[in-house]
Amino acid sequence: MDNKKVGLSDTMTAKTKPKTFRRNPIIGTKFTIAISSAKGGVGKSTFATNLALALKKLDLKVGLLDADIYGPSLPKLFSIQEKPESDGQKLKPIMKYGIQCMSIGFLTDEQTPMIWRGPMVISAIKTFTQKVLWENLDFLIVDMPPGTGDTQLTFAQEINMDGVIIISTPQEIALQDVKRGIKMFDKLKVKIIGLVDNMSHFIGEDEKRYAIFGEGGVEKTAKEFDKNFLGEIPINPEIGKQGDLGTPIVESKPDHKISKIYLEFAKKLHQIFI
């Protein structure tokens, strides 16, 4: 008998064949775009909500799916307290600011922890992608949770996603996880539209630029992995303030310089797909 030791990498790759996934479209949508990072606390939810609102300003029909089962943000960011209507078979999205919205947070109390194992999370994701009455959307923006776990794998393997935008702050501790996320999407053959440098810098009252989290890390990572660098969003107190009020900055202050940055991102997305 051969007593050669087998390493973990050997057991994971032995007899592995390339897998073809059967990806299903989300009924009622033309294009499904995920906002992801694999890292928490980098501003994915804020980006997703403001991008959706910016796309709406281009006269597009837009939906917003909060796919973070454990930590939904959409109810707070859009100040939605009501529950979605149901015909017994499917859920009807809640309309707010002209956006069709859905989140597990609409179905639970704000402070109720979701103590769910993987299969329950997957079941919830399938409900939101198969049993929601999305109506004639040009874009469905999906706010992904942190990590590279069940939610990401379910979307990547079973849902027909048209692309993913990767959000990160520029410091290396965030980019370590982002790089894992990039490799995951590449391995699962999900198109990465590009990377966005969020909270890239702060402009002080002295008009000087302060690189609080470092500088250039996201653009460098984009070049390292041969991905598009889509641009940067500076730190601005109004972004967090308006989010906490449930009135995202693109909706509440459309002429703000940050709102104009989001509008440029929306135009780029529009040019790519429509």
Helical (H) or strand (E) element with 223: helix 217-224
Does this model's pTM top 0.95? My answer is no
CA distance 57 to 134: 19
Residue 272 pLDDT class (50, 70, 90 cuts): very high
Question: Which domains, and CATH codes, for the chain?
Answer: 25-273 (3.40.50.300)
pLDDT in tens, 48-64: 999 999 999 999 999 99
In eight-state DSSP terms, residue 141 is E
pLDDT at residue 1 tops 70: no
Quote the mean pLDDT of the chain.
88
**C-alpha Rg value of the chain to the nearest Å:** 19
CA atoms within 13 A on the CB side of 271: 7
pLDDT at residue 103 tops 60: yes
Residue 47 pLDDT class (50, 70, 90 cuts): very high
Residue 2 pLDDT class (50, 70, 90 cuts): very low
CA distance 41 to 32: 23
